[in-house]
Structure 1
């Protein structure tokens, strides 16, 4: 039995006169051709990177397009196929493959899928509305003297870090119990955390109560809700995943517009205690949104069954052995060291000299970030769903670099309007990162490993978040101003981008040395 295989890098082997667009994704083979031995040979083609994306052949930047457009062609000699006991079997390298009919989940990309996207948007409204606005409460929380800025932002860091660090666990729970159950459970746990933060310290803020309630329980609940809200989109969308992600994450941006102002009004009227009761109610109501995360539809398909089934553990091992994934995860961990710092500290900074802004003026700054973020997420969500999605990594790197430069430059601001301009620029930067982050992970690891890869990348980011805002608060307490805080934030942004600039070439080298294997379940060619 003969078997031949070959790999083509980029689209060099495709006739430029006959192809204008290269559609990446699952393809049915062309008609069988006869090989030299007289048997029937089929060609099976799949993308090793941009699955389900359409990339223009004549790219604006050809060398970037080439770095991303790797394909693998597998030639299958029909002589390799045998019929044993009425079953269609084929020797696929070291694995014996059996084809059979089975119910397989598929992404409808329409209908109920858009309802799920809207539910994800509303969940993200609450999640990031709280994450980007809890800094508005800093002055009220620390004025009693029982809580320092470092302690309060340490609680916030624990909440943000826990939200992401449990990502791998949430992915596994979602696969086992469904993301509807996981998201509703998260709503209940986070609501309980905010309620206990108030109930255990009704008079003055208690560090221990806030650490366990707002920090730990709030982080666990938000982690269950957040990861479910993102990963569930990959179950319902394929071709429209970038657009759906952009729409869903717009809820985060809208929440960061509205929640700072609402919390500002509530804390002035009912104090920090009223604010925490309000936040508990918002989290509990989010269970309604999670109820829309139903199971994706299924259909009968021909699937391959390997005698050696690849498990989640082997998928994890493959990711851990990938330099591309390590660099992407490390860069993500570095960027989030400063990701939430401007949102958490900008309002407090405006209240201090030389700005001496009013509380109303100060609370507008996080809302400006949110407004800019909203517009940016819509625009970049559309961009990510277009033919230019191939440049998602490049767009993100440039944006993060500019964000670092702008953050360092904001240290030299002397007027309120300068802070407002910086808030707008920063909103655009995080819009790019939030809209394209999951798209980049999807492109680099593929659909089959997306759930696991996204969860693991969140773990790395979560570890960093445990230190990000807390370290920024310690710098503020130690130096007495915000200059060092914003310097270090900008430096981490730039370092993260520098790590990711060579990523396309690293990925190309990695895949050329070790072509990706087929998943354990795939459509029959």
Structure 2
């Protein structure tokens, strides 16, 4: 079995996981994800238009008003683990629909805002929660439908973010001019509700059981099979249960110890093979047989705890049970997938390791909230803080925190900065559109480059952030409109790497088995950093009366976030760590595996 492959308390067999079609209805899923990115990201990243209106209407400070804009993306990232749990339990379609409704309600409630603090809850927290539910579902839904074509499909979907920013910046400005900010917010609430239709396209994949599985289930349910399995010929020194046809393992009871003697051919069935259904079909058969034949045994509970029988094999097809669900690149770039796709998928389709009963008490909140097994497993995967002990991941996390502090600065402040130096409002708003279209081009180009074997993706990631940060830090040197357009284009193109290549670089550094855990923790830290970034810049303006210092600070933080990652190869060398390979082991049974299994 592959490294990192485990089974959780509420296990799932590979045969219960749907096979991504790499096309078909998947292209409608891509369309829905693309349109959802257009609307959600387009509205979020065009907040700079509303920021100028809120400053005028509520007469608040720039730092205070910036909280509204920072809360939306901050909450969107911060609720990532919760969204993953809900998606694992209820599916992408349901979570997206609920998210669209919540975001729209948040916008509608903002119409009644008497002060800026009211908008913190309605426009910031409530709408951010809705966008967070939609954001993660839009990513997961595409990955759930694609494997070999995933990079191309994901690239199309996320391009909606840049296109949406390009469209909604002037549209929001037009709506504000025609209907004031309240009318614009109401109209955009109606646009958000269209995401319900996009979410409907996220049709869940259906598990298609093989004929052999159905035949086995039918035979298992027959009364004559039950009678044969429960038949117990008496002996003087104990009880022996024997399979008359030689197809089932012999289960013997001697004294107080139960012994499950599995013949050689049954052990061979337990070896992971190219047929991904075979492993769990054979294991399930033996476990079910064992549980039935030992039903009268005094040591039944002990045996069930060690073999994790029927409850362990409860079928589920939650997308979070795939370790590669957040991987945005094509799986064909992974050598193990190219050599044996079925075997690779088997190795990455897993649950968290079994949690001992004494340690499980730490998660008593799960039981208090009545969370389902799927939700518990997803949260455990994404919120395992032990990964912070990894120096490489800790360095990458600090880099992401620095970058997130300066990431949203241009989206919020660039229009107001341009307007202050005498550029008319329409042209100032167009700077955000430039960021959006450049972002789309950058994601396509850098995504294509990242798939090439001759490209060092970590260096591409580092260098892009370093360039983006320096451009932001140096942008106050000139406030002419052509210069600002050039800055917006550079920022938009290179900042796309921050979102598009994060999961790919994580896999290069940590391996695929740790991606879900790393991605969940990163979302949380990025959300916290996004909370404080724009308000800090606003307070710096309030204290200095100029946007120069805020842009210097924000750009320096992004540049530091990129520069510090250049040290990762050196740290890896000092630690003696080799790049993760996610090897898949396929071995023959050893002699000790041929011995009877004792309970």
Q: Deviations over 1:109-143 (max 9, x none)?
A: 22222322221111111121122111112222222
Matches within 5 A, 1:321-336: 321-336=389-404
Distance in 2, Cα, partners of 1:523 & 1:109: 26
**Aligned with 2:503 (options 427, 438, 446):** 438
Gap change, CA 1:101 and 1:457, over 3 Å in 2: closer
Gap change, CA 1:397 and 1:100, over 3 Å in 2: closer
**Aligned with 2:523 (options 451, 458, 461):** 458
Gaps of 5+ in 2: 209-275, 284-305, 309-351, 355-376, 589-599
Structure 2 match to 1:57:
none
Once the two structures are overlaid, the 10-residue window that deviates more, 282-291 or 480-489, is: 282-291
Distance in 1, Cα, partners of 2:580 & 2:432: 46
Gap change, CA 1:126 and 1:303, over 3 Å in 2: farther
**Aligned with 2:106 (options 181, 190, 193):** 193
Distance in 2, Cα, partners of 1:293 & 1:504: 40
> Would the aligned equivalents of 1:247 and 1:377 in 2 still touch at CA under 8 Å?
no
Gap change, CA 1:515 and 1:331, over 3 Å in 2: closer
Q: Deviations over 1:89-113 (max 9, x none)?
A: xxx99x9xx9987323333322222
Residue 449 (structure 2) pairs with residue 383 (structure 1): yes
> Would the aligned equivalents of 2:469 and 2:557 in 1 still touch at CA under 8 Å?
yes
TM-score (norm 1): 0.74
Q: Aligned to 1:108, what secondary structure does the other structure show?
A: coil
Q: Deviations over 1:18-54 (max 9, x none)?
A: xxxxxxxxxxxxxxxxxxxxxxxxxx8x799xxxxxx
Q: Deviations over 1:144-175 (max 9, x none)?
A: 34433222211111111111001111111111
> Would the aligned equivalents of 1:408 and 1:491 in 2 still touch at CA under 8 Å?
yes
TM-superposed CA distance for 1:190, in Å, is 0.5
TM-superposed CA distance for 1:243, in Å, is 2.5
Q: Aligned to 1:178, what secondary structure does the other structure show?
A: helix
* Greater C-alpha Rg: 2
Gap change, CA 1:100 and 1:398, over 3 Å in 2: closer
Structure 2 match to 1:301:
277
Gaps of 5+ in 1: 1-43, 49-91
**Aligned with 1:488 (options 538, 543, 553):** 553
**Aligned with 1:245 (options 154, 158, 167):** 154
TM-superposed CA distance for 1:261, in Å, is 0.2
Matches within 5 A, 1:495-514: 495-504=560-569, 506=571, 512=577
**Aligned with 2:413 (options 312, 327, 345):** 345
Q: Deviations over 1:221-271 (max 9, x none)?
A: 111111111233332233333322221110000011010100111111111
> Would the aligned equivalents of 2:69 and 2:412 in 1 still touch at CA under 8 Å?
no
Once the two structures are overlaid, the 10-residue window that deviates more, 129-138 or 181-190, is: 129-138
Q: Aligned to 1:106, what secondary structure does the other structure show?
A: coil
CA RMSD across the alignment: 3.2
Residue 121 (structure 2) pairs with residue 212 (structure 1): yes
> Would the aligned equivalents of 1:146 and 1:206 in 2 still touch at CA under 8 Å?
no
Gap change, CA 1:517 and 1:401, over 3 Å in 2: closer
Higher share in strand: 1
**Aligned with 1:478 (options 521, 529, 543):** 543
Distance in 1, Cα, partners of 2:520 & 2:12: 31
Distance in 2, Cα, partners of 1:436 & 1:514: 17
**Aligned with 1:223 (options 115, 128, 132):** 132
Matches within 5 A, 1:140-179: 140-179=53-92
> Would the aligned equivalents of 1:170 and 1:455 in 2 still touch at CA under 8 Å?
no
Distance in 2, Cα, partners of 1:281 & 1:314: 36
TM-superposed CA distance for 1:517, in Å, is 8.2
Q: Deviations over 1:68-90 (max 9, x none)?
A: xxxxxxxxxxxxxxxxxxxxxxx
TM-superposed CA distance for 1:447, in Å, is 4.5
Matches within 5 A, 1:361-380: 361-380=427-446
User: What count of residue pairs does the alignment treat as equivalent?
Assistant: 426
**Aligned with 1:110 (options 6, 10, 23):** 23
Tell which has more relative contact order, 1 or 2 (C-alpha 8 A, sep 6+).
Answer: 2
TM-superposed CA distance for 1:364, in Å, is 1.1
Q: Aligned to 2:17, what secondary structure does the other structure show?
A: strand
Residue 464 (structure 2) pairs with residue 396 (structure 1): no
Distance in 1, Cα, partners of 2:543 & 2:278: 64
Distance in 2, Cα, partners of 1:109 & 1:510: 39
Gap change, CA 1:450 and 1:523, over 3 Å in 2: farther
> Would the aligned equivalents of 2:509 and 2:579 in 1 still touch at CA under 8 Å?
no
Q: Aligned to 1:105, what secondary structure does the other structure show?
A: coil
Q: Aligned to 2:123, what secondary structure does the other structure show?
A: helix
Distance in 2, Cα, partners of 1:216 & 1:489: 23
> Would the aligned equivalents of 2:513 and 2:582 in 1 still touch at CA under 8 Å?
no
Distance in 2, Cα, partners of 1:292 & 1:351: 41
Q: Aligned to 2:501, what secondary structure does the other structure show?
A: helix
Distance in 2, Cα, partners of 1:319 & 1:238: 26
